[in-house]
C-alpha cells in the first residue's frame, strides 16, 4: 500500500485517501503527487461527479505537513518551493469545476484544515477536532487556507480561528458554518446524507452549480491573495522562532 489511495466508486465519487495513519496522515511529497493525480483524474474523466478527500483510520483526517520531512527546509526559498507546490494544488482544488468534499474522519490540524478549507463541503465526525495551529509554530497558513477561510465563513470567525491557533470541537465549527454536516462515528462514507444525495445527481447539474460558485468568486483576486499568503509564510518559515518552535514540537 502506498501513502495514498485513489478509488472511484460506482456512483462516480472519486475518493482520495491519505494513507499514512501511523503519521496521523501528514502530508508528504508523495501525498502531493497523489493529490495532483486525483485532480487530473477529476478534470479529464467525465465519469467523475465529485471528489472526496479523507484520511485512513479513524484518528486523523490530516495533521498538516510532515514536519520530519519539511523541517530540513530552512531558508525562505527552500520553504517557498514546498509551500507553493502544495498551495498550487489547493488552489486547483478550490477552483475544480466539480464539487469537492472533505470528510473529516478524525483530527485535522494545520495544513489538514487548509485542505478541508479548499473543499466546497466539510463533513465531520462529531468527535473530530480541528485547528489552524500554524500560529503556535510561529508561521501562518501557507497553502492558501487562510485566504480561502476568509471566503468561506464570517471574517471575524475566520480571523479568530487563525489568530488564536486554537483547536475546536466539530460541533462548534458546525455552529459557525465551517463544518456543513456532522455525522456519527459509525456511519459509513457512502451513507452520509450529503454525499448520498450529491451522488444521485447528474454530472452536468453538479458542474453547472459549481460554475455558479466560481463565477461569484473573483478568481484573480483569490489567486493573488493565496500567492501573497504563501510568500508571507515562507518569510516567517525562515525565522529562528519557527525553527525553534518546530524543534520543541518534535521533542514532544
In a domain, 244, yes or no: no
Cα(160)–Cα(157) distance, integer angstroms: 5
In a domain, 226, yes or no: no
Q: pLDDT (tens digit, 9 = 90+) per residue, 7-51?
A: 999 999 999 999 999 999 999 999 999 999 999 999 999 999 999
Number of residues that make up the chain: 252
With the CA atoms of 35, 39, 45 and 47 taken in that order, what torsion angle do they form, in degrees rounded to the nearest 10?
A: 80
Q: Which three cell numbers stand for residue 225?
A: 491573495
Cα(217)–Cα(239) distance, integer angstroms: 34
Q: pLDDT (tens digit, 9 = 90+) per residue, 156-186?
A: 999 999 999 999 999 999 999 999 999 999 8
Average pLDDT of the chain to the nearest whole number: 96
3-state secondary structure at position 181: strand
Q: Is the pLDDT of residue 1 over 80?
A: no
Range of the structural domain that residue 61 is part of: 4-187
Calculate mean pLDDT across residues 123-149.
98
Q: pLDDT (tens digit, 9 = 90+) per residue, 102-131?
A: 999 999 999 999 999 999 999 999 999 999
DSSP string, 95-141: T-SS-EEEEE-SEEETHHHHHHHHSSEEEEETT-EEE-GGGGGT---
Return the sign of the alpha-carbon dihedral for residues 201, 202, 208, 211: positive
Cα(166)–Cα(130) distance, integer angstroms: 8
Q: Left if phi > 0, otherwise alpha if psi is -120 to 50, otherwise beta: which for 134?
A: alpha
In a domain, 194, yes or no: no
| Global pTM exceeds 0.85 | yes
CATH of the domain at 21: 3.90.226.10
- Please give the tally of structural domains in the chain: 1
In a domain, 84, yes or no: yes
In a domain, 60, yes or no: yes
Cα(199)–Cα(52) distance, integer angstroms: 11
In a domain, 149, yes or no: yes
In a domain, 202, yes or no: no
pLDDT category at 251 given cuts 50, 70, 90 is confident
Q: Which three cell numbers stand for residue 34?
A: 497523489
Question: What local confidence, expressed as pLDDT, does residue 252 receive?
Answer: 83
In a domain, 180, yes or no: yes
| R_g of the chain computed on alpha carbons | 17
Amino acid at each position: 500500500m502506498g501513502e495514498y489511495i485513489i478509488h472511484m466508486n460506482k456512483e462516480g465519487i472519486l475518493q482520495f485517501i491519505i494513507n499514512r495513519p501511523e503519521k496521523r496522515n501528514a502530508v508528504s511529497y508523495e501525498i502531493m503527487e497523489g493529490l495532483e493525480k486525483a485532480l487530473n483524474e477529476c478534470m479529464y474523466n467525465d465519469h467523475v461527479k465529485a471528489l472526496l478527500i479523507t484520511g485512513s483510520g479513524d484518528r486523523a483526517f490530516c495533521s498538516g505537513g510532515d514536519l520530519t520531512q519539511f523541517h530540513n527546509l530552512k531558508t525562505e526559498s527552500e520553504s517557498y518551493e514546498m509551500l507553493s507546490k502544495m498551495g498550487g494544488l489547493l488552489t486547483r482544488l478550490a477552483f475544480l469545476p466539480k464539487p469537492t468534499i472533505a470528510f473529516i474522519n478524525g483530527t485535522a490540524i494545520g495544513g489538514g484544515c487548509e485542505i478541508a478549507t479548499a473543499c466546497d463541503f466539510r463533513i465531520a465526525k462529531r468527535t473530530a477536532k480541528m485547528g489552524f495551529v500554524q500560529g503556535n509554530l510561529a508561521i501562518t497558513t501557507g497553502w492558501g487556507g487562510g485566504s480561502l477561510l476568509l471566503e468561506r465563513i464570517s471574517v471575524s470567525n475566520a480571523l479568530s480561528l487563525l489568530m488564536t491557533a486554537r483547536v475546536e470541537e466539530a460541533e462548534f465549527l458546525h455552529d459557525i458554518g465551517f463544518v456543513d454536516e456532522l455525522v456519527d462515528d459509525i456511519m459509513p462514507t457512502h451513507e452520509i446524507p450529503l454525499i448520498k444525495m450529491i451522488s444521485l445527481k447528474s454530472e452536468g447539474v453538479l458542474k453547472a452549480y459549481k460554475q455558479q460558485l466560481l463565477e461569484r468568486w473573483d478568481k484573480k483576486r483569490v489567486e493573488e491573495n493565496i500567492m501573497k499568503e504563501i510568500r508571507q509564510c515562507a518569510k516567517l518559515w525562515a525565522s529562528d522562532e519557527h525553527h525553534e518552535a518546530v524543534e520543541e514540537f518534535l521533542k514532544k
